Chains A and B, each alone.
Chain A
Amino acid sequence: MRITVLFFAQARERAGRPSLALELPDGSRVADARAAIARRYPALEALWPHLALAVDGVLVSGDATLHTDAELALLPPVSGG
């Protein structure tokens, strides 16, 4: 199945792009997406434990399941003011 990954703030900088189409085995969970993304963008790995994750606009945890056409958003904390 194919999902779209959205990178925000520092995740966007470390990935060097705002979004990515990602092919994953059916039944994959957010944690599986993490592994696939980390293979492509190792610089993102250090951010992972600190990200908020959302699937289709709803905040989720790492064991949430994904589905075809899901939108997975990776949202690092930001503190600027």
Chain B
Amino acid sequence: MSVRTTIYIPSPLRPYAGQHAAVEVEAATVGEALRALVTAHADLERHLYDEQGRLRRFVNVYRNDEDVRHLQRDATPLSAGDTLSIVPSIAGGAGPQQPAGPPAWATGADGLPALSPAELLRYGRHLILPEVALEGQRKLKAASVLIVGAGGLGSPLALYLAAAGVGRLGLVDFDVVDESNLQRQVLYGTASVGLPKLDAARARLQDLNPGVRVDTYATRLTSQNAFEILEPYDVVVDGTDNFPTRYLVNDACALKAKPNVYGSIFRFEGQISVFDAARGPCYRCLYPDPPPPGLVPSCAEGGVLGVLPGVVGTLQAMEAIKLILGLGEPLIGRLMLFDALGMRFRELKLRKDPACPLCGERRTVTELVDYEQFCGLPGAEQVAENVGLELSVRDLEARIARGDDFDLIDVREPQEFEIARLPGARLIPLGSLPARVSELDSSREIVLTCHTGQRSMRALEFLRGAGFRKLQNLRGGIAAWSREVDPSVPRY
């Protein structure tokens, strides 16, 4: 009975077999299998058989690890799971070029995972690169990469690393796919809006490459769980969108001696580096202290051109693969700056800072800390106090309907104000508030608003510091107003 059998072709004969390293045939015996092979690849025939149609003397054929000459030659039967290997002798018949049996890449006998015929086809363009080849592809299959953040950077990262055949991918994210993500987060489609990101990501990645193991961590990365989540991975990639998590990823990687492939974006510009504290500087060597909250806008506040994370995330994927393969020059000790508007790449040389508290000469950071506090974010007490200063959109609606006397100040940017505005709101962008504070009357009640209520809370904190007392923040901003009060106000 015929069974499906894989025949491994040695490299000298691959030019005559369409460059295939392995060919699958249906056959009941070794003779049938070889005939099927030369039927499919006619050029091979004269290399395997002499004029009389006999197998040439220097061609050795092994069923699994046995020479068929010691079995029943052409009549040797094949059963399911058997493999055949063609092993040419060195010219002159001095014996086999390699040990008997299928090669290590097909069995994994040398410790790296084996590749199947289907994988040879899938990764063919890698396999013919001498810098990758079979060994490199098997290293990718053996490798594991943790991607922190499945957003703008995480999307191209996950797609390219899965496509490349990295054996195990971990994804950390706790968000749900939002319509406003689709402009740049190419891992998701319209049908995924409202779904947890990791569910949608898993489905897309498994479709792209079913051979990749995808592990998902539907949680925020914290000082409590970071070591446990990072532990199984060879390489960590930072695709987060906030400073506390960036410092956390940096510190956890340095303390556990794992390379951290860093990427970060702002509007039209990006930064890329590889922080590997064992071999070079870390993120703290570049930025010892985080900026105070609100000084540097996030993508949600400042906007971002959708292609930008595509460029930066793809460069991170390239660096991750280079680290796995030990290929080229990793971006260790160098910071790459990408400027999309000028279309320029600039490289800065980074040095390990001897005074770095994490990786320098006198280390004071020897365990993970509270990164929200480190980055100056309000603690639980401050949050509770601020909540007391908040006003719901329903309350605002009622106050407007009653004709209450107060000033409604919108601290968004002019281009946002143009998209949508609240009735009676006056625009003073957050950045110009310090210069325009004299336009406000501290004796009157002031309600502050923005897109989602975060920037207006910072405006409130600023005004409180400037001596204003009758302040309230609109919880959820104009987005909540549109959802709960007036759907005719556009959301963005």
A interface vs B, CB < 8 Å? Answer: 6, 8-10, 12-13, 18, 43, 46-47, 50, 52, 54, 57-59, 73, 75-81
Distance in angstroms between the alpha carbons of A8 and B268 in the assembled complex: 10
Beta-carbon contact of B246 and A59 below 8 Å: no
Contacts of B238 in A (CB 8 A): 81
**Is residue B254 within 8 Å, beta carbon to beta carbon, of the partner chain?**
no
- In the assembled complex, the CB of A58 is this many whole angstroms from the nearest CB of chain B, namely 5
Contact with A along B331-371 (1 / 0, CB 8 A): 00001010101100011111100000000000000000000
Q: Which of B153, B246, B286, B431 contacts A52 (CB 8 A)?
A: B286
Beta-carbon contact of B350 and A59 below 8 Å: yes
Distance in angstroms between the alpha carbons of A43 and B241 in the assembled complex: 25
5 smallest CB-CB distances across A and B, nearest first, come from A78-B266, A81-B241, A80-B265, A50-B291, A80-B299
Q: Which of B287, B348, B349 contacts A50 (CB 8 A)?
A: B287
Beta-carbon contact of A8 and B241 below 8 Å: no
- In the assembled complex, the CB of B360 is this many whole angstroms from the nearest CB of chain A, namely 14
Distance in angstroms between the alpha carbons of A57 and B265 in the assembled complex: 20
Which residues of B299-346 have CB atoms within 8 Å of chain A's CB atoms? 299, 302, 304, 309, 335, 337, 339, 341-342, 346
Known contacts A52-B287, A73-B348, A81 near B309 by CB under 8 Å: yes
30 contacts between A and B (CB under 8 A): A8-B269, A9-B269, A13-B267, A43-B431, A47-B291, A47-B295, A50-B287, A50-B291, A52-B348, A54-B349, A57-B346, A57-B348, A58-B349, A73-B346, A73-B348, A75-B337, A76-B296, A77-B296, A78-B269, A78-B271, A79-B240, A79-B246, A80-B241, A80-B298, A80-B304, A81-B149, A81-B239, A81-B242, A81-B263, A81-B299
How many interface residues does chain B have, given as a range?
35 or more
Beta-carbon contact of B349 and A59 below 8 Å: yes
Contacts of B123 in A (CB 8 A): none
Contacts of A78 in B (CB 8 A): 264-266, 269-271, 296
Contacts of B335 in A (CB 8 A): 59
Distance in angstroms between the alpha carbons of A48 and B149 in the assembled complex: 29
**Is residue B290 within 8 Å, beta carbon to beta carbon, of the partner chain?**
yes
**Is residue B477 within 8 Å, beta carbon to beta carbon, of the partner chain?**
no
Beta-carbon contact of B348 and A79 below 8 Å: no
Q: Which residue of B lies closest to A13 (CB)?
A: B267
- In the assembled complex, the CB of A70 is this many whole angstroms from the nearest CB of chain B, namely 14
- In the assembled complex, the CB of B269 is this many whole angstroms from the nearest CB of chain A, namely 5
Contact with A along B213-246 (1 / 0, CB 8 A): 0000000000000000000000000111111001
Distance in angstroms between the alpha carbons of A52 and B349 in the assembled complex: 12
Q: Which applies to chain A's interface (DSSP): helix, strand, loop or mixed?
A: mixed
Distance in angstroms between the alpha carbons of A71 and B271 in the assembled complex: 19
Beta-carbon contact of B351 and A77 below 8 Å: no
Contacts of A58 in B (CB 8 A): 348-349, 351
**Is residue B10 within 8 Å, beta carbon to beta carbon, of the partner chain?**
no
Beyond known contacts A77-B290, A80-B266: 13 more, CB 8 A cutoff: A10-B266, A12-B269, A47-B295, A50-B289, A50-B292, A54-B348, A57-B347, A57-B348, A57-B349, A58-B351, A59-B351, A79-B242, A81-B242
Q: Which one of A58, A73, A75, A81 has the highest number of Cβ atoms from chain B below 10 Å of its Cβ?
A: A81
Contacts of B266 in A (CB 8 A): 9-10, 78-80
Distance in angstroms between the alpha carbons of A69 and B355 in the assembled complex: 30
**Is residue B259 within 8 Å, beta carbon to beta carbon, of the partner chain?**
no
Contacts of B240 in A (CB 8 A): 79, 81
- In the assembled complex, the CB of B398 is this many whole angstroms from the nearest CB of chain A, namely 37
Beta-carbon contact of A81 and B153 below 8 Å: yes
Beta-carbon contact of A76 and B291 below 8 Å: yes
- In the assembled complex, the CB of A10 is this many whole angstroms from the nearest CB of chain B, namely 6
Contacts of B241 in A (CB 8 A): 79-81
Distance in angstroms between the alpha carbons of A46 and B242 in the assembled complex: 20
Distance in angstroms between the alpha carbons of A8 and B338 in the assembled complex: 10
Distance in angstroms between the alpha carbons of A73 and B241 in the assembled complex: 24
Distance in angstroms between the alpha carbons of A58 and B334 in the assembled complex: 9
Beta-carbon contact of A80 and B152 below 8 Å: yes
**Is residue B154 within 8 Å, beta carbon to beta carbon, of the partner chain?**
yes
Q: Which residue of B lies closest to A46 (CB)?
A: B295
- In the assembled complex, the CB of B203 is this many whole angstroms from the nearest CB of chain A, namely 22
**Is residue B151 within 8 Å, beta carbon to beta carbon, of the partner chain?**
yes
Contacts of B269 in A (CB 8 A): 8-9, 12, 78
